[in-house]
Structure 1
Amino acid sequence: MDYKKIIKNRKTRFLILKLLGFVPDSIILKLQYRIKLGRSLNLKHPKRFTEKLQWYKINYRNPVMHKCVDKYGVRKYVESKGLGDILVKLYGHYKTINDVPFSSLPNSFVIKTTHGGGGLNVVVVPDKSKLDTHELKQKLSFSEDRVDNNGGGREWAYYGLRTGIVVEQLLVNSQNPEAGVNDYKIFCYNGHAKYIIVDVDRYIGHKRNFYDREWNNLHITSDCPASDREIEKPERLEEMLRIAEKLSEDFPYVRVDLYCVDGKVYFGELTFYPWSGYVQFTPDKFDFELGKQFQLPNKNKG
């Protein structure tokens, strides 16, 4: 079922989910899993990666996660790991979009909400002179001081986050500026990096390839088509893997997103629930392979 065709407006979809806030997480997640993936969700004995992510949402309560999903707070977490040198330059942290001093910002930057995941909460500004600030303010405005505890995907780590805005340096692909920089998303389990997903050409025909840590192409597809070319192994791959393992050592599972630009590694974000756990891999067995690596912890840590 393509629910987005039935309810086309994103705000309407979230309003409906908010009204269903009284429904227990397990019921909502089972319903969403069935609608989005067309199969039942096994929470008692999860085997698939996508199933274990749903279990993770409900049962794993590590308070450090709150800091790590906050786009401003995570900077302190990265610094606490002795990795402050990989942080992208910060131009400012603001309470609301209306507090951002656009006139004093450089000509290019990235602006995003501190409390949301996904591309809908991020705006890339390559040329400030062409920016429609009115449209931007509409897109990144919010009315609450904290994130509602019954968000769309029931993702516990985001519950209660203070809302805010951060503005950071825009990293540029010097070889092909219009394509955007490659985004290396490293799947880590208990501090061990296992797989690397690489997003390329994000602004000119987004593609995605899956690799193991030896940079063997696994020929997996997901919600984004695979690249028709082999993606070159990043020159700092071993350093990136070490960084990812350092940042992930406190958690049973987390995806560590990094960039490598002109020979320097930069931090992107930490993601505990990629795709919110609703993604179809091809071949389907990869879902089980990822699930084997994911050793679920005891419930209600923290």
Structure 2
Amino acid sequence: MLTINGGLPDDVKLHVFHGKVGWIQIDVGRFTEHRQSIFSVDGQKIKQSNPKFPGIEELNHLHQRFNAEYIAEIVSTAEKICDEVDYIRLDLFDIDGELFFGEFTAYHNAAHPQSDELEALGGRLWNTEY
């Protein structure tokens, strides 16, 4: 799938814990100059002290990329279809403002460590007591 300009689409990844989106990840330039930023569900950029990839500096708030209604819609959809698992990442492709399903994965980044901030946040959100 390519954008109207023939480029690869950007990735929108929703990290879902127990049926609730914990954070939204945007990846751009995956096969050129990969950059990545992480946002809370309300659109605030989550600062990372030791990120795996450089941040998307020009994107300071998720609402610069998507309007609030659009974010609410993708969050609601992700929470409905991911409500029965303790953790899953739902990947979407942003192709010219339209989102397409990419994949589900239970092993974000092949389960390699993330930034200290994301490790701590994921640890707080992922309740393993049943």
- 1:283-298 residue pairs with structure 2 within 5 A? 284-298=116-130
One-letter code aligned to 2:13: K
d(CA) in 1 for partners of 2:110 and 2:93?
Answer: 22
CA distances 1:244-282 after superposition (whole Å, capped 9, x unpaired): 11221110111111123234321111110112322241x
Superposed, 1:86-101 pairs within 5 Å as none
Instruction: Give the TM-score taking structure 2 as reference length.
Output: 0.82
Shift of 1:297: 4.7
Q: Is the 8 A contact 1:184 1:196 kept in 2?
A: yes
Q: Distance in 1 between matches of 2:89 and 2:16?
A: 6
Q: Which TM-score applies when normalising by structure 1?
A: 0.38
Check conservation: 1:190, 1:253, Cα contact below 8 A.
Answer: yes
Q: Helix, strand or coil: the match of 2:76?
A: helix
Query: 1:177 Cα shift?
Result: 3.1
Query: Structure 1 residues 265 and 223 mapped into 2: Cα distance closer, same or farther (>3 Å)?
Result: same
SS at match of 2:47: coil
Larger RCO (CA under 8 A, 6+ residues apart): 2
Q: 1:290 deviation in Å?
A: 1.5
* Greater percentage in helix: 1
Q: CA distance change for structure 1 residues 280 and 261 in 2, over 3 Å: closer, same or farther?
A: closer
Measure the CA separation in 2 of the matches of 1:201 and 1:285. 23
What is the alpha-carbon root mean square deviation over aligned residues? 2.0
- Residue 56 (structure 2) aligns with: 227
Superposition deviation, residue 289 in structure 1: 1.9
What is the correspondence of 1:1-302 to structure 2 with a 5 Å cutoff?
170=1, 172-174=2-4, 176-178=5-7, 180-220=8-48, 221-230=50-59, 232-235=64-67, 236-281=70-115, 284-298=116-130
Structure 1 CA distance for aligned equivalents of residues 43 and 84 of structure 2:
25
- Quickly say closer, same or farther: Cα 1:274–1:206, change in 2 above 3 A: same
Structure richer in strand, relative to its length: 2
Query: Do the aligned partners of 1:240 and 1:258 also contact (CA within 8 Å) in 2?
Result: no
| Number of corresponding residues | 124
Moved over 4 A (4+): none
Are the aligned partners of 2:113 and 2:119 in contact in 1 as well (CA < 8 Å)? no
Kept in 2: contact 1:234–1:260 (CA 8 A): no
Q: Secondary structure of 1:225's partner?
A: coil
Identity level (%):
23
Gaps of 5+ in 2: none
* Structure number, greater radius of gyration: 1
